[in-house]
Amino acid sequence: MNCAYKRLACATVFATIFGGAYGFSSMLEPPKSPPPTVAKPATPTDPKTDPKTDPKTPPMECKVPNGSEPTVDLTALDKVDEGCWSELRNKRVYFAHGTVGTNIVAGLCAVQCRKVDIKLDAIGYCEPDKTDAAPRSVFDSPGIFDAQSGKAGNPEQKIDEFAKFLRSPEGTKVDIALLKFCYSDIGRTTDTDALVDRYGKMVEQLKRDRPDLRIITCTVPLKSEESGAKARMKKLVGAGSDASNAARGRYNDAIRKRFPASQVFDIAATESRKPDGGEATVNVGGKRVQTLAAEYTEDGAHLNQTGQMLLAREFLLALTKQCRGAAEPAPTVGGAFGADEPGGK
């Protein structure tokens, strides 16, 4: 698999959205340290100049030097039947997301460098090419297509745009769709009940209109626990990441109750599960609230390499639950490390 190239292609939207989204969120909840380093993104692929098909540009090889990447337990992917992977290779997957979603896409490339037999192309979405008489779309071929979900801080708009796209001529080609909110979309003042209801009605309407479309619902990403004098002041007035994580937790709990486990990509549960199997939580108003485990982030919000690969693993497992004949699976969320690896149980 051409992973070195895809490490660039998978991060297509990162440079354009990261600065704005991260800057906005930092005004509300200052990061602990600079964001993790991510490979410099390429521009969206043009089919006419794709290095994979253009003989003038030889493909780059996937090279993973020993010890240069984190150890993440990927054995669950080995248990997936080849028939399911083969089925997914013929599906068009649309993943609408923000900056944490870009981290996950980068993780997909890293995971598939380890698991080369999966062979699911991750491609940045670009507008249809209308230079020919018949417009060409990225969805003319199967793959995982990721795109920015909309304006950060406006989840209602993201819901509406997601539904509108899936009803468009191009969107009707999509087989599996995911809409991932940003952590900045939900804060302590968000009416989570109303947001869950709005999202749920959108899913129900799409399923009625397009019964063959599979929609995977995502829980909202978390932020890590804050520390220091400023964090203590925020807690005194009911602000800061703990209060916002409590709101995200209310939304996520409602999503888990409303949709079957086979239709949920539980980002929050995965982010909060530590490598040793414990759970990262804080006490908010006498209730334990999930937080992003410190082991998976450098800035308290975005994913480091371990977090990227861990969430990518769960993303892939969520896709496999959509295969024909897939039974209701047991929970797949676990730590980053295998039982026989450092940090494993």
| Triad 296, 42, 121: Cα angle to 5° | 70
Whether residue 162 has pLDDT greater than 80: yes
Of 341, 277, 325, 308, nearest to 75 by C-alpha is 341
In this prediction, residue 325 has a pLDDT band, given cuts at 50, 70 and 90, of confident
Rounded mean pLDDT, 111-131: 87
- Which pLDDT tens digit goes with each residue over 215-247? 999 999 999 997 665 555 555 545 568 999 999
Asked if residues 152 and 25 have their Cβ atoms less than 8 Å apart, the reply is yes
| Per-residue pLDDT at 68 | 62
Rounded mean pLDDT, 66-71: 65
How far is residue 100 from each of residues 130, 166, 180, 308, measured CA to CA in Å? 31, 22, 9, 9
Domain boundaries, the chain: 3-320
Q: What number of other Cβ atoms are within 10 A of residue 252's Cβ? A: 26
Which of 18-22, 185-189, 335-339 is predicted with the least confidence, judged by mean pLDDT? Answer: 18-22
Rounded mean pLDDT, 84-96: 97
> Within a 13 Å sphere around the CA of 65, how many CA atoms are in the beta-carbon half?
1
Asked if residues 246 and 187 have their Cβ atoms less than 8 Å apart, the reply is no
**Bridge partners for 273 per DSSP:** 279
Q: Where are the beta strands (DSSP E) in 170-233?
A: 176-179, 214-218
Asked if residues 49 and 313 have their Cβ atoms less than 8 Å apart, the reply is no
Residue-averaged pLDDT of the chain: 79
With a CB cutoff of 8 Å and minimum separation 6, the contacts of 203 are 215, 217, 259
Domain 3-320 has CATH 3.40.50.720: no
| Per-residue pLDDT at 138 | 86
Whether residue 152 has pLDDT greater than 70: yes
| Per-residue pLDDT at 290 | 97
Asked if residues 223 and 244 have their Cβ atoms less than 8 Å apart, the reply is yes
| Per-residue pLDDT at 126 | 73
Q: How large a percentage of the chain has pLDDT more than 90?
A: 60
Residue 64 CA to residue 66 CA, distance in Å, equals 6
Residue 297 CA to residue 305 CA, distance in Å, equals 8
DSSP 123: E
With a CB cutoff of 8 Å and minimum separation 6, the contacts of 196 are 251, 254, 255, 258
| Per-residue pLDDT at 232 | 53
DSSP 304: -
